[in-house]
């Protein structure tokens, strides 16, 4: 079974050729030491995954010949939407990476009152592109065939006014909440979880979340770092109602 998985955007079928750009060609040739004739898997991030053979490879280009489509079952039936208070640098990258590995379907980065990260429109677009690349790398590693949707950063108060409807459960992590996460009503297919940044949420933001229909839940008696809270909550959701067995 080929071990290397590579995300290549676009639509392709068995028998077609894919021309890779210089960055992916250098990655295959110089980093992974692949050669002509080697096998790998390619996926487009929209559900398609194919076996592929390296037909030609050079220093700055490579051609892949697409083989048969493979069947995968790596996407969770539980659709988790993570609304995450933006954290600094590596912490946010870590959250995006691990949330992707844990099967999250959508990530909405939000700007909050106590958040230390301030983004204007231009920086927001740049950070979204960066997080998208982090998610792609995580999908290549973990076997997912669909990329999570990553929204542009938005102020939390604005997101409350435009949040998706038809969600089975909407929860917000809050230290001291009396309801444990695993005791919420069982979601059927969709759940939205709201997690604060390093400084947590303000009381106004908790009140706004309650008005918006969010239930305050707890992960236990200890106050967790934002990246720990994200991983622990998603893992709990997948364990209770998702595809953790």
Q: Per mean pLDDT, which of 72-76, 81-85, 181-185 is the most reliable?
A: 81-85
Reported as a single tens digit per residue, the pLDDT across 87-138 is 988 999 999 999 999 999 999 999 999 988 888 889 999 999 999 999 999 9
Tell whether the torsion through CA atoms of 100, 104, 105 and 110 is positive or negative.
negative
Mean pLDDT of 211-238: 96
* % of the chain at pLDDT higher than 90: 84
Q: Which residues pair with 110 in a beta bridge?
A: 85, 154
Q: What is the CATH number of the domain that holds 59?
A: 2.40.240.20
pTM, entire model: 0.92
71 vs 47: CA distance, rounded Å? 10
Q: Are residues 174 and 222 in the same domain?
A: yes
Could you give the count of Cα atoms lying within 13 Å of 96 in the half-sphere of its Cβ? 28
CATH number at residue 161: 3.40.1280.10
**Residue in the structure block whose two tokens are 């539980």:** 78
Domain count across the chain: 2
pLDDT digits (tens, 9 = 90+) for 153-210: 999 999 999 888 888 999 999 999 999 999 999 998 899 999 999 989 999 999 999 9
Let me know whether 30 and 123 are in one domain. no
What is the average per-residue pLDDT within 20-34?
92
Q: Note whether 63 and 133 are same-domain residues.
A: no
Q: Is residue 245 pLDDT above 90, yes or no?
A: no
Same domain assignment for residues 208 and 119: yes
| Residue 147 shares a structural domain with residue 87 | yes
- Section 222-235 average pLDDT: 96
- On the question of pLDDT at 1 being above 50, the answer is no
Q: Which range of residues forms the domain containing residue 50?
A: 5-69
Judgement on whether residues 127 and 47 belong to the same structural domain of the protein: no
Hey, is 20 helix, strand or coil? Answer: strand
pLDDT confidence of residue 2: 54
Is residue 201 located within the same domain as residue 109? yes
CA end-to-end distance (rounded Å), the chain? 24
Mean pLDDT of 237-244: 94
Residues 129 and 227 in one domain: yes
Is 74 domain-assigned?
no
Q: What is the mean pLDDT of residues 17-42?
A: 93
∠223-81-50 over CA atoms, to 5°?
125
DSSP helix/strand/coil, 75: coil
H or E stretch including 120?
Answer: none
- The kind and range of the H/E element at 124 are helix 121-142
The last residue of a domain, from among 49, 69, 89: 69
Q: Which two tokens stand for residue 55?
A: 């037909």
Q: 64 phi and psi, to 5 degrees?
A: -110, 135
Report how far residue 34's alpha carbon sits from residue 136's, in angstroms, rounded to the nearest whole number.
Answer: 20
Say whether both 50 and 132 belong to one domain.
no
What is the rounded average pLDDT for all residues in the chain? 93
Residues 171 and 55 placed together within one structural domain of the fold = no
CB 29 within 8 A of CB 59: yes
Concatenate the DSSP letters of all residues of 146-168 into one string: BPPEEPPPEEHHHHHTT--S--S
Task: Indicate whether 210 belongs to any domain.
Answer: yes
């Amino acid at each position: 079974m080929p071990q290397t998985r590579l995300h290549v955007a676009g639509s392709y079928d068995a028998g077609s050729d894919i021309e890779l750009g210089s960055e992916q060609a250098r990655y295959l040739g110089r980093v992974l030491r692949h050669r002509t004739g080697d096998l790998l898997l390619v996926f487009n991030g929209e559900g398609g995954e194919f076996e592929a053979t390296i037909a030609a490879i050079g220093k700055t280009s490579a051609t892949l010949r697409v083989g048969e489509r493979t069947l995968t079952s790596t996407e969770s039936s539980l659709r988790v939407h993570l609304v995450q208070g933006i954290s600094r640098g590596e912490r946010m990258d870590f959250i995006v990476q691990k949330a992707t590995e844990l099967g999250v379907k959508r990530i909405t980065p939000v700007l909050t009152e106590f958040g230390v990260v301030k983004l204007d429109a231009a920086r927001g677009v740049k950070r979204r592109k960066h997080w998208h690349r982090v998610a792609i790398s995580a999908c290549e590693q973990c076997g997912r065939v669909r990329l999570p949707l990553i929204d542009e950063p938005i102020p939390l108060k604005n997101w409350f006014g435009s949040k998706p409807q038809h969600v089975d459960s909407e929860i917000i992590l809050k230290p001291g909440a009396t309801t444990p996460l695993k005791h919420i009503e069982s979601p059927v297919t969709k759940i939205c979880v709201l997690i604060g940044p390093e400084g947590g949420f303000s009381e106004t933001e908790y009140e706004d979340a309650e008005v918006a229909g969010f239930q305050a839940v707890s992960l236990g008696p200890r106050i967790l770092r934002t990246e720990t809270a994200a991983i622990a909550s998603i893992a709990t959701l997948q364990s209770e109602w998702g595809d953790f067995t």
